[in-house]
Chain A
Amino acid sequence: MSQKRTRVRRFDVHHKTTYNYTQSVSLSQHFMHLTPRSTPGQLVETSSITTWPEAATWREAKDFFGNKTTLASLDEEHLQTVIEMRSRVTVQPIAVPDPENTPIWTDIIQQLSEMSSEDCLRIRQYCYRSPKIRFNREVLALAQSFFPPETPILVGAMKLMDHIHKSFTYDGEATEVDTPIEDVLRLRRGVCQDFAHLQIAGLRSLGLPARYVSGYLMTHPAEGEMKLQGADASHAWVSVWVGEYGWVDLDPTNNLIVDDEHITLAWGRDYADVSPINGVTFGGGDHSVRVEVDVVPLER
């Protein structure tokens, strides 16, 4: 299954979020994880965020996980907020190891527990419970069934992913942004974020480091149909620590190893660390929100 890929693909990503308020808002503030991250497999050529009304103040920073954050304050009276991100990104997937050749999962735990260097701490922080990742005996039992002794880490992780993909139904209505993992387990339904959280919980319950990745996925129109504008969407998947091979990204929603159609925005312990837009308004009554995402592949 080991494939060396040398393909390079370029994408234009456009992500537009529109909030409409029923009453005028005197101030709205938005904290964003909305700038794609440069990674070994991804080069960000250009990236910009614009707001309407124009932000009065603008602050950029790096968070604890190394993601770029942007805080925008919109202080004109407004009835609508529009936040638009445009980026041009080159994706060149790094080699994925042959799962059978990856380290035995218990060796990974053993190895990590013996080190406490800064780099090692940076990995170990993804081993624990976090605001959205809880686990109990049920999650542990589920994970253990795919990790008998002597299982190579990536083999186990992919079996767990396969299981989630096969026994859980994709359902945009079943869960909310803050549905806990216990409920997802019970419902056997959810969206990409729920599946990512569930897989992370499973891996961490064994003591393995796993992180949450927020980003985009290029979608393909059904055979013979035109690709619709704005039909792509935000996506989320999992990154698992594979020892000397580094982090390997798995997409439990689509049951695949991430290749050249995923674009990474940010990573953290779970959704709460890297939610793309976290906003508050002063005044404003009720509001509705609309999201449009386009991931457009460019000819080389």
Chain B
Amino acid sequence: MPSQAPSNFALSNLDYCALDNRDELLNEAGQLRPHWATFYEDPRGLNPALAASRSARLDRALLENALTYAVTDSANRSSARPLSVDPIPLILAEEDWHLLSKGARQRALLLNGVLADLYGEQKLLKEGLLPPALVLGNPGFIRAVHGVKPPDDIYLHSFSMDVARGPDGSWWVLRDHSQATAASGFALENRILMGQLYPEMTRELNVRRLAEYFQTFQEQIAALSGKEEPRILCYTSGPNDSRYLAQAYLARYLGYTMAEGPDLTMRNGRVYIKTLDGLKQADVLLRQVDAWQCDPLELDATSNVGVPGLVTAVRNNGVKVANSLGSGLVETNALAGFMPTLCETVLNEDLRLPNLATWWCGEASAADYVHENFDALDIGPAFDGDRQTHRALLECPRDKRRASLKDYGDRIIGQERMELPTTPVQGGDALLPAPYILRLFVTASTDGFNVMPGGLVLSGQPGRNASTADFSPTTMKDCWTLAPEPEQRVTLLPREDGFVKIRRTGKDLASRAADNLFWLGRYTERTEATCRLMRTVIAALTQDGQIAADPAALAAAALPIMRRAGLTEAKKGKQPEAFPDRLRRIAADPEIGYALPNCVNGVLGTAGRIRDRLRPPTFRTLQRLQDEQTRLNALSQKQVDLMTALPALDDMMILLNAFAGQAQENMTRNSGWLFLDMGRRLERGLHMIEIIAQLLVTSGKMRDGRLVLLLDLADSFMTYRSRYLTNPMVAPVLDLLLLDETNPQSIAFQLAQIHSHLKKLKKEPAVMLPPERHLIYGLLSRLRLAKVTELSQADKTGSRPQLADLLNNFQGALLEFGPTIARSYFSHAEIVRNCTKPGIQVAET
């Protein structure tokens, strides 16, 4: 690689202009920095002509991976603002990398040492090196685990830190992350995206690989348990956490099952995950939940994402938790000023990477300084996890904050504001300078700590300077460090000649995940049935459809949905809404339980909770339902023609079919798939019962086109036509839709499928059928014995009492099936409730 850029280098052909003399691409003289030269000169690299195709490829790769982003901003508020990915990596010069990696490694060692002391002997306090208020008054100090020694004295199994370059080019530490560090999942995923954008260049430039880092991480996590095949769970607080996406990504890559608090239970000093096959012991929890929330019995009693008794299990050595429960203590911002002394004492070395200047108001002189320089400083909470001060600061108007400094006392720090340097990002076709910070990742290893040779770059609004105080990330980027020589490849795949037990089942299926899969099946089917009904009815109403059904038949067909949506009864003193207006409500009213917006929400909600079990393209297919729903929402305005709904409804059905196909073709037939399919079958069976009941039970007249309508709604018109040359007649239609086990739309087919799934799920007990099988088997037998001639027989009034009786019965039984299966399989997924604390009251004597 050329070490020097040509002297007459014209950057104008890049049209890149740095904001000032602190830019990663250009040096103080406005010339290209040498370590960017190869990437710049190569036509496949920074080439501006590639901007459009680069963006297109990146967008495509993102879609394929079903990645959307949520970030936590500097104030730790979760925000829905998506964090985009930039196609231009940050390239670090070798000397910078050298400095940062040594500094990060030292910092992890140091903070681990500090934790070992503070959760043990507390020499640092006794010898006066740390003020007691910083530890004993710190909400991050978890007293319940004081004295618990983790294996090998490792408290930080992974660790990350945010760094930024200062005005003189040297690096400063902004913040440490010692609890949930799954953001490394984003670094990994950025790298995989870059691999797709620059397939040859990453190899030719010797970009250091990340795989070894993750392998080291995986090995030390597995070693924690001391078992051959430990059960390792990624313990998360669920999809509401802005970090969930990174967690799911990392868990999928490392092969860990995702588990939320309610999936786990402490029994007899150990932790178990509730699965379909009962309780399975968890050996290691990769903790992504803040410590104070981890145990409602011994830590914060109001937590609803905790595992009751987790602290007891940890003390009992019944489960290993990484990072250790108390590790959040070293996220304390107020530690900054003590780092040089701590480093000398604990490691007997000089601190390599200094912190941004920080004044902790727990010390009188620092408090005075903060008061005097209030406007020049960034004021924040001193302790991580101090929600009270955090909230109070947010609520306090800026002009009153100075006056209220005394209210917070030692809970406050003032921090220097440092202007951030810039690095190029792609904005449209142009390269623009954007302020950035870099997050470095460290993992514990057998020989201390290893640093990820790269990291996660967070960059802010392009074209504008920002300081550490007002920086807010909008984009993330990959970070490249270039090895002087090609590296050996490391892969996470095990050695091919190693010994592995053959299995045909995958990860444990948590009861909650099975429950969600079951509901995902129900919601997708419900959405599809509603779409089909709407499409048929709207097309017929607008004279455009191929079905010339009578308006009365159309209204009858739509009745079950209208009824469930509560749209059949008129409000007091008012006429019922006109039929087309009610259809609009079904398409677009988010307030109505069974209307499409809620069906789609149901699909996305349940899918989001089992994201780690769905392949990215499958998830993306479901996500696109939301786009179609957005189109449908226009119908809430009456001037919009109902007809315009048809394309969106068609597209929604295509997406749902695609999802069904992917589930059919790509999911192994494990219990997860069985639950998904049972949900779908149950919902379809219920839907069929309703439309048959509406269209065939009470009406003797068959001349209004309702049989054709029924066949269309049941997607069986073609099948009928292929068998019978006549126009539809009651008996053959009933046979096809009710009794024919070869027709995938028939009620008999749904029951037969559910029955066969249930048989696969559980070994049969010796004497009795389990209740859910008893129920389905009963229904199926009744159908098999039914005679279509009797069912289609109408009495003098034109109604069919036998059919009515059967459908009525079936509906009641199938509605009972959901709760029955929940009792049999999801009983472990019961809601955990915190008991009321008895008030402490004693009257005055």
Contact = CB atoms under 8 A, between A and B. Distances in A.
Partners in one complex: yes
B406 interface: yes
Contacts of B132: 116, 121, 124-125
B834 interface: yes
A220 B845 contact: yes
A25 to B, nearest CB: 9
B268 interface: yes
Interface stretch (B138-146, B442-450, B685-693): B138-146
Contacts of A170: 843-844
Contact of A127 (B137, B406, B837, B840): B137
A35 B302 CA distance: 24
A234 B842 CA distance: 6
Contacts of B837: 177, 275, 277-278
Interface in A15-47: 17, 19, 26-31
Interface string B243-272: 000000000000000000000011111000
A219 B297 contact: no
Determine the main DSSP class of B at the interface with A.
loop
Contact of B297 (A71, A176, A177): A71
Interface string A267-289: 00001100111111111100111
Nearest to A220: B845
Contacts of B302: 178
A31 B126 contact: no
B329 to A, nearest CB: 14
Contacts of B842: 191-192, 217, 219, 232-235, 253
A9 interface: no
B265 A27 contact: yes
B141 to A, nearest CB: 9
A281 B297 contact: no
A281 B308 CA distance: 10
For B137, B316, B841, the residue with the greatest tally of chain A CB atoms inside 10 Å of its CB is B841
Given A136-B407, A177-B839, A234-B838, A117 B830 contact: no
A276 B840 CA distance: 9
Interface string B391-417: 000000000000010110111000000
Interface string A162-204: 0000000010100011100000000000011100000000000
Contacts of B144: 63-64
Contacts of A64: 143-144, 146
A224 to B, nearest CB: 16
B493 interface: no
B128 interface: yes
Contacts of A125: 132, 136-137
A191 B835 contact: no
A192 B843 CA distance: 8
B296 interface: yes
B836 interface: yes
A281 B836 CA distance: 11
A125 B132 CA distance: 7
Interface residues on A, range: 35 or more
A71 B836 CA distance: 17
Contacts of A71: 297, 309, 312
B500 interface: no
A19 B836 CA distance: 9
B136 A128 contact: yes
A140 interface: yes
Interface string A107-138: 00000000011100100110111110010110
Contacts of B316: 59
A177 to B, nearest CB: 5
A57 B269 CA distance: 9
A57 B297 contact: no
Contacts of B267: 57, 73, 75
A239 B436 CA distance: 51
B614 interface: no
A101 interface: no
Contacts of A57: 267-269
Contact of B308 (A214, A277, A280): A280
A216 to B, nearest CB: 8
Contact of A73 (B268, B300, B406, B836): B268
A63 B404 CA distance: 35
A140 B837 CA distance: 30
B126 A116 contact: yes
Interface in B808-845: 827, 830-845
B589 to A, nearest CB: 31
5 contacts: A116-B126, A118-B126, A125-B132, A137-B406, A277-B838
Given A64-B144, A116-B126, A233-B840, 14 more contacts: A57-B267, A71-B312, A121-B136, A124-B132, A129-B137, A136-B407, A140-B406, A170-B843, A177-B840, A191-B839, A233-B841, A233-B842, A272-B300, A278-B837
Q: Report the 9 A-B pairs with minimum CB-CB distance, sorted nearest first.
A: A128-B137, A279-B835, A64-B143, A31-B297, A125-B136, A136-B407, A283-B830, A235-B842, A233-B842
